[in-house]
Amino acid sequence: MLGALEQDVAVGAVTAPDGGSDMLAAVRAITDNDLHPIVNQIDREGVYPDAVMRALGAAGAYSQHVGAEPRLDLATEAMAIVGEECLSTSFCMWCQNAMAWYLANTPNEALKSKMLRAVSTAALGAGTGLSNPMKTFFGIEKMRLKGVKADGGYVVSGTLPWVSNIGEDRYFGAIFGSDGGDGPPVMFCVDCSAPGVSLSQNASFTALEGTRTYAVKFKEHFVPDDMILADPAGEFVRDIRAGFILMQCGMAAGLIEGCLQIMRQTDKSHEHVNRFLPDRPDAIAEKLAALKEEVVMLCQTPYETSDDYFRAVLKARLAGSDLSLVAAQAAMLHAGARGYLYEAPAQRRLRESYFVAIVTPASKQLAKMLHDMDA
């Protein structure tokens, strides 16, 4: 399959030449016209928004951050626009963006030229399975994938319980521990249809059901050298981690903006009583504006290695999680009984908001990382 997708790496062709405004306008139109009508199907029936994801790819939503001058701010803003309507779709965008980010940064030029354009235009669907290693690097759990060196590559076994935005014809980035698990981490690209890789969907979720989330089992799966993203992966992970985390702020910003819209809508009829609630839209909007400004600033230097920079990235991500929870609760309280109806946006946003706070790095991990850095 890869052979058929092989193209030059000049993704600049789909990178917005106009500072991003055309791309963002196209993302807004797709969100309003194509995504809005199906949000409850995504949420309640687990429908995956395939056509929307592809249209966003064609509009350039996943290619802003992969050129010579990565515009992580634009990638993040596109996710925020979509997230105003639907967190599942915004999260799927993040999955696609994360894999494009790995490919844009890999020293494996052959893999990059085979896959980057296809992933950054969504001709090829892609995801990321880094939750477990991201927790492993910060002392929270053990590496689930174990690899041993073999002729021309590695043999990998283990299970990742949740990987989203994938399927039999898709790819994702993952990390195994070499030397049977305890050696240096190695990052690789998984072909979901390769021998020794099997996908299963045993769980159903309280939100984010339409995200094509699978458990992925590796049984003596052979990873050829040409599918290696970084070996060893330590420095590579240091390079990509700020972008990985900052782009998640797009999910948070979109969700918070969607909650503000609910609050303002209900204020039209209930401002006389809503104004006694503790968390009001103007105060939340002010915090959101400050957060977005901070994220745009941090997006300018994703490869910066200072502790101060990384601490600021973690704090922005944590602030996004915290404000998502506050905004979603406030939206629910503003909406009242109307928000409690089965298909009301307020109760959906409330369920979605917890995902911002639990997806790796979860709030508790971010707090631990900040604590460990300060210790």
Distances from the Cα of 194 to the Cα of 107, 117, 171, 189, 259, angstroms:
23, 21, 10, 11, 42
Q: Cα separations (Å) of 96 from 90, 125, 144, 165, 298? A: 10, 7, 22, 7, 21
Taking CB under 6 A as the binding criterion, the range among 112-120, 180-188, 313-321, 354-362 that sits at the site for ligand FAD is 354-362
CB neighbour list of residue 20: distance below 8 Å, 6 or more residues apart? 64, 71, 74, 77
What DSSP line would sit under 173-240, residue for residue? Answer: EEEEESGGGTS-EEEEEEETTSTTEEEE-----SS-GGG--EEEEEEEEEEEGGGEEESS-HHHHHHH
105 binds ligand FAD (CB under 6 A): no
Beta-carbon contacts of 25 under 8 Å, excluding residues fewer than 6 positions away, are none
Q: Which is nearer to ligand FAD, 71 or 212 (CB)?
A: 212
Sole window of 16-24, 118-126, 158-166, 298-306 interacting with ligand FAD (rule: CB under 6 A): 158-166
Q: How far is the CB of 51 from ligand FAD (least distance, A)?
A: 21
Is 128 a residue that touches ligand FAD (CB under 6 A)? yes
- Residue (162 or 222) nearer to ligand FAD, CB: 162
Q: Show the binding pattern over residues 203-242: x = contacts ligand FAD (CB under 6 A), - = does not.
A: x-x--x--x-x-----------------------------
CB 150 within 8 A of CB 188: no
CB 218 within 8 A of CB 158: yes
| Of residues 57, 68, 69, the one with CA closest to residue 27 | 57
Long-range contacts from 338-341, C-beta under 8 angstroms, 24+ separation = 338/266, 339/262, 339/266
When asked if residue 321 is in the footprint of ligand FAD (CB under 6 A), the reply is: no
Q: Does 131 bind ligand FAD (CB under 6 A)?
A: yes
Among 11, 59, 359, 369, binds ligand FAD (CB under 6 A): 359
Of 140 and 370, which CB lies nearer to ligand FAD in the complex structure?
A: 140
Q: Rule CB under 6 A: say whether 127 interacts with ligand FAD.
A: yes
Q: Which one of 6, 141, 293, 372 is in contact with ligand FAD (CB under 6 A)?
A: 141
What's the sign of the alpha-carbon dihedral 117, 120, 123, 127?
A: positive
For ligand FAD, the nearest residue by Cβ is 131
Interaction of residue 362 with ligand FAD, rule CB under 6 A: yes
Residues 73 to 102 in contact with ligand FAD, rule: CB under 6 A: 95
189 is a site residue for ligand FAD (CB under 6 A): no
- Nearer to ligand FAD among residue 205 and residue 309 (C-beta): 205
Helix (H) or strand (E) holding 146: strand 146-150
Tokens of 39: 């949000």
Q: How far is the CB of 287 from ligand FAD (least distance, A)?
A: 24
256 near ligand FAD, judged by CB under 6 A: no
Q: State the Cα–Cα distance between residues 148 and 2, nearest whole angstrom.
A: 25
129 sits near ligand FAD (criterion: CB under 6 A) = yes
Residue 157 touching ligand FAD (CB under 6 A): no
Question: What letter represents residue 176's amino acid?
Answer: F
Q: Residue 176 — φ and ψ, nearest 5°? A: -120, 160
Token look-up 């400004």 returns: 293
Report 50-69 residues binding ligand FAD (CB under 6 A). none
From the CB of 277, what's the least distance to ligand FAD, in Å?
A: 29
Q: Minimum distance between the CB of residue 213 and ligand FAD, rounded to whole angstroms?
A: 4
Binding-site size for ligand FAD (CB under 6 A) equals 22
Q: Which stretch binds ligand FAD (CB under 6 A): 10-18, 31-39, 161-169, 324-332?
A: 161-169
Q: Say if residue 345 is preceded by a cis peptide, omega within 30 of 0.
A: no
Residue 375 CA to residue 371 CA, distance in Å, equals 6
Choosing from 161, 167, 183, 196, the residue that interacts with ligand FAD (CB under 6 A) is 161
Q: Counting contacts by CB under 6 A, is residue 164 touching ligand FAD?
A: yes
**Rounded Cα distance, 332 and 366, in Å:** 26
Which residue ranges make up the site for ligand FAD (CB under 6 A)?
95, 127-131, 140-141, 161-164, 203, 205, 208, 211, 213, 358-360, 362, 365
